Amino acid sequence: MNESRPTPATLLLVDDDPSIIQAASRLLSDFGRCRFARSAADALRLLRQEPVDLVLLDAEMPEMGGLEMLSLMQKASELAEIPVVLLTSHRDEATEEAAFAAGAVDYLSKPIRPGVLRARVNTQLRLSRALAEVRRLSRTDPLTGLSNRRAMQEWLERELLRADRQNAPLSVLMVDVDHFKAFNDLYGHAGGDHALIKMADCLRQAASRANDDCARWGGEEFLVLLPDTDGPGAMAVAQHLHRALAELAHPHEASPLGQLTASVGIATLEPLSEERAAALRAAPVQDRIEELLGRADAALYRAKAAGRSRSEIAES
């Protein structure tokens, strides 16, 4: 059986010598798409516009050298994990040590030998894909394929800070499968797992925008993060979830409702006046996240107390 070809990579070649860029582009074209920059400043701008799989970086450039650019990348969370191979005309041990100390994953001396360059790039791309898969698995719930609690915590912090900067609303849905213990008792744990997978599918249908995120928060509880979404918008997503579950009509004979349903608590951070926003932003981010989730949880409790298979919005 033939192995599937790896997904084409995107490489960024950074060198002030156009002949080096042209030669490297020809040598590496079959690995994927090659972008290029003639300075470190241009390279950093390109990296923030579009992620790449590997950077080939000249160590000696005017204005900002490769080691300085590496240092800046290491300080930026969105760039720190991009692998960088440093290219230099120096062959001394001190330069090599400095390259690895700055964060380079490999080091090549000029003039570049074509076979060595291709072999090193191939190795680093394979390692990068393997590490990316490890990171993905560490952030994914293995049963449902949704984000796990750890990943959602990171998304919550990032999106809350972004909402602050843009003075935009942010909403969360706390979702709990109704009568799930009774479901497990009747259908067994395999049946319960299947029901959770179906619930995850319905959540994906309801929260389908690119920047929405759904996570398995724990057991039969899920959390949905809705950036740029106010209370009515969040309620619309919750109602979409209820409709998706009704259409699914997954049997639940241990429930008074006869099929799989969920209760939802909604909480929203609305845009605030400058004075109120400044006071809130002074609080630790984690405290504000806990307050938001606490309000969603209280709304979820009200939804359950009111008969389940419904949504409630938290008080502001």
What letter does residue 74 receive in the DSSP assignment?
A: H
Token output for 70: 């590496």
* Residues 149 and 113: beta-carbon distance below 8 Å: no
**CA 28, CA 248: separation in Å to the nearest integer?**
49
Residue 64's contacts (CB-CB under 8 Å, 6 or more residues apart) are 39, 40, 41
Catalytic residue check, 157: no
Active-site position among 63, 81, 157, 220: 220
Cα atoms found within 13 Å of the Cα of residue 101, Cβ hemisphere only: 7
End-to-end CA distance of the chain: 59
Let me know the angle formed at the C-alpha of 165 by 159 and 168, rounded to the nearest 5 degrees.
70
* Residues 254 and 180: beta-carbon distance below 8 Å: no
Report the catalytic residues: 220
